[in-house]
Amino acid sequence: MGDNAPRHPNYTQDDLPDGLSSALDLTHVGIFGHSAGGAAAAQAMYEDDRFDVGIDMDGTLGYMPDHPLPVAEHGLDLPFMLMESGYTSDDELDSHLTREDRLSSWQQSTGWKYDIAIPKGMHYTFTNYQVLMPQIDSNLSLSPGIIQSSIGTANADEMLEAQITYVASFFELHLKGIAQEIFELKESPFEEVEIVR
């Protein structure tokens, strides 16, 4: 195989493994992502009706006011959850209420929608940095400023549990139709998570 050979793992177009198609329920598909991946999840749902539900973890839905993504302009008619962290430059809680792109999408959306914010979190709260940075810090003594600017000051264990709970509950509710009490609560069971209405 030369240097110009395709790099895709299935470039030979081999058949999929036996049983794979029956192991996946492609009639109920969810998508989620962090940062640009969260924006991509929202836009993918807007453009592709194969996606039924989605989550945006701290992703910007365009560059406002002149370059919003179409999903920010037109919204969604399917279940979608926003997960944000920290504060805006005006010291307001980062949420659909304080970001023009997410507010526009929220107002235009007719599907089920839910927004949670982590005031003491930062952009990388939704990544494995939340767990890895404290471990690195215990061995290398990172500057507190580096840690706080990446993951904030929220309790790492609670943040991990909160994310697992909310993401799993969202998909259980909307892909499997299993009721989830967490979405009926007026306040989050996690001390450092706020429900934004």
Provide the whole-model pTM. 0.88
Which CATH class, in words, describes the domain spanning 28-195?
Answer: alpha beta
Q: pLDDT (tens digit, 9 = 90+) per residue, 161-171? A: 999 999 999 99
* Domains of the chain, residue spans: 28-195
CA dist list (Å): 169 to 22, 153, 172: 24, 25, 5
Q: pLDDT (tens digit, 9 = 90+) per residue, 80-117? A: 999 999 999 999 999 999 999 999 999 999 999 999 99
Structure confidence at residue 1 as a pLDDT band (50, 70, 90) = very low
Q: pLDDT (tens digit, 9 = 90+) per residue, 113-158? A: 999 999 999 999 999 999 899 888 888 888 889 999 999 999 999 9
CA distance 44 to 35: 14
CA dist list (Å): 112 to 55, 82, 101, 170: 12, 11, 18, 11
| pLDDT, the chain, mean | 92
What average pLDDT does range 186-192 have in this prediction? 97
